[in-house]
């Protein structure tokens, strides 16, 4: 097959070389992992058992039909039983488990997707509609499967099976919540048709430290199942069916990157101090408590942003209880062994919906998101605050409030925290009475009204992802305007610099926890603006530390001031590049 190249937006660095695995949206709703060779037959039996159980269920339904039941009902059950016995359902998914090593649920959904596509082509509308019956049968089987004990997902892929260890996901879109399901590392790269540089899907891809390109228009239609694919995550380029020569070049780059990483790992215990002796705090961004391991591994001195909404996403009808949340926050706090853990309160909404099927507002990014949602759902907010406060009895916890813009939102948030504390005191539950509370500065209005914040908050954390989105009116998820999403826009730089300066003046800590903090090309610029606290994905931490170790504040300062005085994008871009050579 002829080679071709697709262009998208680079979101997670590195090079991935593997076979394409196209994932249809439905396939994302079930667990998907690769079953090790020795468990394949057991997985086949698991699916066979589920099929047999559904057979029995249908038989019982048929036997228990009331005498006066309409005849269509019996016929309906017959059709489902026939579908279930058809080799398309009773055998093809078993072959998928055997040949591709998919787990049972994934194999079934893959087969159903293929069948559905075939049904869509049928001219006869009656027959075309039978697709629904197939889906209903599959749902029954899935329900049984989900109730049956799955074999544990392997943590690492079998080394001896090169094909299995090299799968690249190709999908139209992947939600941030679905992205989290890829944590078992079954996949080595991601390509999606849509998405932006700082969409939450891209952020999770970065946190998984797996090469990814989004906004690769038409990728999911042009790339075929099992095509060889190279993802150049630094350039956002996807090469399909590469020639042997190109493949060789990329393999060499991959090896060079591996060597560089190995070298970086030696910096883990080195304190982050600039050449002239300025100490810098490097913190980790996490989505779930399990990320604390990689955070410590990378030498983070604390968690600067725990995106707590990942505990809630996709659980609209089964929200995590106060106790469940407490357990998760406590796990993170204990894992960090006394280092501070900054837990951001629920930032649900926009591209992180609680219920992805629910009708969303016309402009969700401007809607009932984050603190606005929490203040409109006081019981949910209070339960979360109590859970966070309870975790503060186990180590240093800080509370971070997202999307604040109004004075009354600050006051109401603080009042809710006091209320949560009072409830805990009443119940004789321990918490740290000195828990610090901080505000995310991520709406331009907040950056322009900083006295409102510094007076009442213990610390500030600049959310550059949203600050850029709202300053430039660029939807961070929309790939059609992604080229306009520019962290170096003078307006953005002014707002960041003003926030850092206001914090310094008031004597309170200011961090950057947006993606800018983990971008080594911007490290010196942020240092020059006076930033002393950076929070980023663990995978980025050592590169940023290396940049800090090589930086000299006396050289960076004057150049940064020049950048901040300029309104010319070319001058700014050149000067930022020049900063790196100082």
**What residues are labeled active site?**
200, 513
Is 392 near ligand PEP (CB under 6 A)?
Answer: no
Of Mg ion, ligand PEP, none, which one sits near residue 307, judging by CB under 5 to 8 A according to partner kind?
A: ligand PEP
Is 537 near ligand PEP (CB under 6 A)?
Answer: no
User: Please, are residues 477 and 199 in contact by the beta-carbon 8 Å criterion?
Assistant: yes
Name the nearest CA neighbour of 97 among 43, 154, 16: 43
Distances (CA, A) of 399 to 304, 534, 541: 10, 17, 22
Was 344 annotated as part of a binding site?
yes
Task: Please pick, from the candidates 466, 475, 519, 547, the single residue that binds ligand PEP as defined by CB under 6 A.
Answer: 466
Q: Which residues contact 498 (CB under 8 A, 6 or more apart)?
A: 447, 448, 450
Instruction: Write out the residues near Mg ion by the rule CB under 5 A.
Output: 442, 463, 466
User: Please, are residues 315 and 354 in contact by the beta-carbon 8 Å criterion?
Assistant: yes
Task: Please pick, from the candidates 197, 465, 551, 560, the single residue that binds ligand PEP as defined by CB under 6 A.
Answer: 465
Is 353 near ligand PEP (CB under 6 A)?
Answer: no
> What string of DSSP letters covers 35-52?
PPGGGHHHHHHHHHHHHH
Name the nearest CA neighbour of 287 among 106, 538, 14: 538
CB of 466 to ligand PEP, least distance (A): 3
Is 291 near ligand PEP (CB under 6 A)?
Answer: no
Was 19 annotated as part of a binding site?
no
Was 442 annotated as part of a binding site?
yes
Torsion on CA atoms 118, 121, 127, 131, rounded to nearest 10: 50
Was 466 annotated as part of a binding site?
yes
Q: In the range 190-229, which residues lie near ligand PEP by CB under 6 A?
A: 203
Neighbours of 400 (CB within 10 A): 27
CB of 288 to ligand PEP, least distance (A): 14
CA distance 259 to 270: 19
Q: Which is nearer to ligand PEP, 386 or 476 (CB)?
A: 476
Q: Where are the alpha helices (DSSP H) in 265-317?
A: 292-297
Q: Which one of 65-73, 423-431, 457-465, 496-504 is the stretch in contact with ligand PEP (CB under 6 A)?
A: 457-465
CB of 27 to ligand PEP, least distance (A): 26
Of ligand PEP, Mg ion, none, which one sits near residue 178, judging by CB under 5 to 8 A according to partner kind?
A: none
Number of residues that bind ligand PEP (CB under 6 A): 11
The pair of three-digit structure tokens given for residue 424, joined into one six-digit string: 């805990």
CB of 200 to ligand PEP, least distance (A): 6
The pair of three-digit structure tokens given for residue 183, joined into one six-digit string: 């944590």
CB of 285 to ligand PEP, least distance (A): 7
Name the nearest CA neighbour of 390 among 306, 459, 325, 318: 325
Is 442 near ligand PEP (CB under 6 A)?
Answer: yes
Annotated binding site for phosphoenolpyruvate: 307, 344, 465-466, 476
Residues that bind ligand PEP (CB under 6 A): 203, 305, 307, 347, 442, 463-466, 513-514
């Amino acid at each position: 097959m002829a080679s071709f190249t697709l262009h998208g937006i680079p979101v997670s660095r590195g090079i991935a070389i593997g076979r394409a695995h196209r994932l249809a949206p439905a396939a994302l709703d079930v667990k998907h992992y690769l079953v090790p060779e020795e468990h394949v037959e057991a997985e086949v039996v698991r699916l066979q058992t589920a099929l047999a159980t559904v057979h029995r269920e249908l038989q019982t339904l048929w036997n228990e039909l009331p005498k006066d039941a309409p005849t269509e009902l019996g016929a309906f059950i017959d059709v489902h039983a026939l579908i279930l016995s058809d080799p398309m359902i009773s055998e093809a998914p078993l072959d998928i488990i055997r040949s591709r090593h998919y787990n049972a649920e994934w194999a079934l959904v893959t087969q159903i997707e293929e069948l559905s596509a075939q049904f869509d082509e049928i001219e006869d509308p009656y027959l075309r509609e039978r697709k629904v019956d197939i889906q209903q049968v599959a749902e029954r089987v899935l329900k049984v499967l989900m109730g049956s004990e799955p074999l544990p997902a392997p943590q690492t892929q079998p080394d001896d099976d090169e094909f299995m260890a090299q799968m690249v996901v190709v999908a139209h879109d992947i939600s941030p919540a679905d992205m989290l399901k890829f944590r078992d590392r079954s996949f080595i790269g991601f390509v999606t048709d849509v998405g932006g540089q700082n969409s939450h899907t891209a952020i999770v891809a970065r946190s998984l430290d797996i090469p990814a390109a989004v906004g690769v228009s038409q990728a999911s239609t042009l790339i075929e199942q099992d095509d060889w694919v190279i993802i150049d995550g630094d350039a956002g380029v996807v090469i399909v069916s590469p020639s042997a020569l190109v493949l060789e070049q990329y393999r060499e780059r991959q090896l060079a990157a591996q060597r560089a990483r190995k070298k970086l790992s030696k910096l883990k215990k080195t304190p982050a101090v600039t050449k002239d002796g300025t100490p810098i705090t490097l913190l980790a961004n996490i989505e779930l408590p399990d990320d604390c391991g990689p955070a410590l591994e990378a030498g983070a001195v604390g968690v600067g942003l725990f995106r707590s909404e990942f505990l809630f996403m996709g659980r609209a009808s089964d929200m995590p209880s106060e106790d469940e949340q407490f357990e998760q926050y406590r796990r993170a706090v204990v894992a960090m062994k006394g280092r501070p853990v900054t837990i951001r309160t629920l930032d649900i909404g926009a591209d992180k919906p609680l219920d992805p099927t629910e009708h969303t507002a016309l402009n969700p990014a401007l809607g009932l998101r984050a603190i606005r949602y929490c203040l409109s759902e006081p019981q949910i907010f209070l339960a979360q605050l109590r859970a966070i406060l309870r975790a503060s009895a186990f180590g240093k916890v800080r509370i971070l409030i997202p999307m604040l813009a109004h004075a009354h939102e600050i006051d109401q948030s603080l009042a809710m925290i006091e209320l949560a504390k009072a409830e805990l005191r009443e119940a004789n539950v321990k918490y740290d009475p000195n828990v610090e509370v901080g505000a995310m500065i991520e709406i331009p209005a907040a950056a322009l009204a900083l006295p409102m914040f510094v007076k009442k908050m213990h610390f500030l954390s600049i959310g550059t992802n949203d600050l850029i989105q709202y300053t430039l009116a660029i939807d961070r998820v929309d790939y059609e305007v992604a080229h306009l999403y520019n962290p170096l826009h003078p307006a953005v730089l002014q707002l960041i610099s003003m926030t850092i300066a206001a914090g310094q003046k008031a004597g309170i800590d200011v961090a950057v926890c947006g993606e800018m903090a983990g971008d080594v090309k911007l490290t010196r610029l942020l240092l020059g603006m006076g930033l002393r606290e950076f929070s980023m994905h663990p995978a980025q931490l050592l590169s940023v530390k290396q940049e800090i170790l090589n930086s000299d504040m006396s050289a960076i300062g004057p150049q940064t001031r020049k950048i901040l005085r300029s309104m010319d994008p070319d001058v700014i871009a050149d000067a930022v590049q020049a900063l790196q050579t100082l």
